[in-house]
Amino acid sequence: MSTSATIQPVTRWLSAEEQRAWLAWLGATELLMGSLDAQLQRDAGFPHAYYAILAQLSHAPDRTLRMSDLAGVVNASPSRLSHAVGKLEERGWVTRSPSTCDKRSTMCTLTDAGFDVLAEQAPGHVEAVRKHLFDALTPEQVGQLEQICNAVLDGLDPSGSCRR
Amino acid sequence: MSTSATIQPVTRWLSAEEQRAWLAWLGATELLMGSLDAQLQRDAGFPHAYYAILAQLSHAPDRTLRMSDLAGVVNASPSRLSHAVGKLEERGWVTRSPSTCDKRSTMCTLTDAGFDVLAEQAPGHVEAVRKHLFDALTPEQVGQLEQICNAVLDGLDPSGSCRR
DNA sequence: CATGTCTGTTTGAACACTCAACCAGTTGGG
DNA sequence: CCCAACTGGTTGAGTGTTCAAACAGACATG
């Protein structure tokens, strides 16, 4: 062993190809999410994070989810979710009720008014997702994208809370 | 013409595969950017958007870029960039000066202190990007990711400002 | 050379998110 | 039992982003 390279490793910079991929990913994610946020803000008056909360609740049994489970499926911190649900509750789209089995937990339920708002906004939102993402990709690329994102999720989200 | 389907099209919902890809993309982007933001906030005291500004300036001739050009390469709105550069200027990492050729424009320059901060934070940041993204992907997937993101960018960013 | 329009940038208010601190309920040993 | 450690959730302060409005300089058209 003649060098210290293995003991004090220097930074492994990105290769030219990795740099291109990284800049493209940054641009695509920021512009895509920015575009979806702008569309929802304009048409519905709330950001994509709020839409995700309503959408996940609408698929849950009794349209109800425990706060921490809801936080898991929408990739939100407890604090962020608490603030967001507070706003949604003010507008009458969800309600909060204490859980009966574990008195620490809070259950969050989508109201009929919330369901109506979601039903009203879903077509426009889905159309935007399709237009900006799936219309730009071949069917093979959709499969590749899913595999790539799941590989990234495996490293970041060991519990796998956002994959069904 | 017997139906109105072609005149009043119904929503084309996402297929099962598209839904899986969409949820995976949402999870991967949010968790990855969240993780990078947290790492930079903890180690450097500023978010990824600020890092991007410093990094892009460091590659520019004279470490200087016009505000609107800088906004283009970091995918920021003019307003967002103006606020962010204001904060960076307070900390002494960039300076603003009026452009000589077009008196409407403002030139933004990375200071030596700003360069030092960037040099200090770059290894940790690159390591985080590598760890959470590229270490999870095969070389083929890196290429696929670049093509996918560029396809998305073609639809969202006609001017191509974030691809050199 | 006047005037309307467009471009580049900044500003302030409204809003969303983060972080750290906190409170209440639960759990598992002494 | 009792108490410490942990879990689920909320809160408020601080910070970043968005949106609409404003403003100055450039440009073009009559």
Residues 4-23 in A contacting B (C-alpha not used; CB under 8 Å): 11-14, 17-18, 20-23
Confidence of residue B1 (pLDDT cuts 50, 70, 90): low
Closest CA to A152 of B33, B52, B149: B33
Distance B105 CA to C8 C1' (A): 6
Mean pLDDT calculated for residue range A103-123:
97
CA distances in angstroms from A157 to A60, A80, B34, B148, listed in the order given: 21, 18, 12, 23
Higher pLDDT, A119 or B158: A119
Q: What are the residues whose beta carbons fall under 8 Å from the beta carbon of B86, sequence distance 6 or more?
A: none
* B55–chain A nearest CA distance, Å: 12
In a mutagenesis test of the A interface, which of B133, B154, B157, B161 is the best target, namely the one with the most A β-carbons within 10 Å?
Answer: B133
CB atoms closer than 10 angstroms to residue B62: 9
Tens of pLDDT, residue by residue over A47-96, are: 999 999 999 999 999 999 999 999 999 999 999 999 999 999 999 999 99
* Residue B3 binned pLDDT confidence (cut-offs 50, 70, 90): low
Q: How far is B114 from chain A (nearest CA, A)?
A: 20
Backbone phi, psi, residue B107, to 5°: -100, 140
Of the candidate ranges A8-12, A66-70, A96-100, A143-147, the one whose mean pLDDT is the lowest: A8-12
Supply the pLDDT for residue A164.
47
Mean pLDDT of B19-29: 97
How many contacts does A have with B, using Cβ atoms within 8 A?
176
Residue A162 has phi, psi (to 5 degrees) of -100, 10
Q: Is there a contact between B122 and A18 if contact means CB atoms under 8 Å apart?
A: no
Measured between beta carbons, the chain A residues lying within 8 angstroms of B144 are 141, 144-145, 148
pLDDT of residue A11: 83
Residue listed under structure tokens 């760890």: B131
Among the ranges given (A147-161, B11-25, B91-105), the one the predictor scored with the smallest mean pLDDT:
A147-161
pLDDT at B164: 47
When the pLDDT of each residue in chain A is averaged and rounded to a whole number, the result is 93
Residue nearest to nucleotide C17 (CA to C1'): A80
CA distances from B152 to A35, A141, A159, B39, B141 (A): 12, 11, 29, 27, 16
pLDDT, mean of residues B139-164:
85
Residue A136 has pLDDT above 70, yes or no: yes
Average pLDDT over residues B26-44: 97
Which residue among A12, A33, A75 sits closest to B130, beta carbon to beta carbon? Answer: A12
Task: For residues A85 and A69, give the distance between their C-alpha atoms in angstroms, rounded to a whole number.
Answer: 13
Domain A28-121 bears CATH identifier 1.20.120.1200: no
Flag if A157 and B26 touch (Cβ within 8 Å).
Answer: no
Q: Which residue has the tokens 């004279």?
A: B62
Q: How many CB atoms lie within 10 A of CB A96?
A: 14
pLDDT at A4 over 60: no
CATH (residue range B33-121): 1.10.10.10
CB contact under 8 A, A123 and B11: yes
More confident residue, B4 or A56: A56
Mean per-residue pLDDT over chain B, rounded: 93
Per-residue pLDDT tens digits for B132-141: 999 999 999 9
Give the pLDDT mean for A148-158.
89
Q: What value does the mean pLDDT take over residues A14-23? A: 96
* SS3 of chain A: CCCCCCCCCCCCCCCHHHHHHHHHHHHHHHHHHHHHHHHHHHHCCCCHHHHHHHHHHHHCHHHEEEHHHHHHHCCCCHHHHHHHHHHHHHCCCEEEEECCCCCCCEEEEECHHHHHHHHHHHHHHHHHHHHHCHHHCCHHHHHHHHHHHHHHHHHHCCCCCCCC
CB-based contact B145 A30, cutoff 8 Å: no
Q: How far is the CA of A62 from the C1' of D5 (A)?
A: 34
pLDDT band for B157, please (50, 70, 90 cuts).
confident
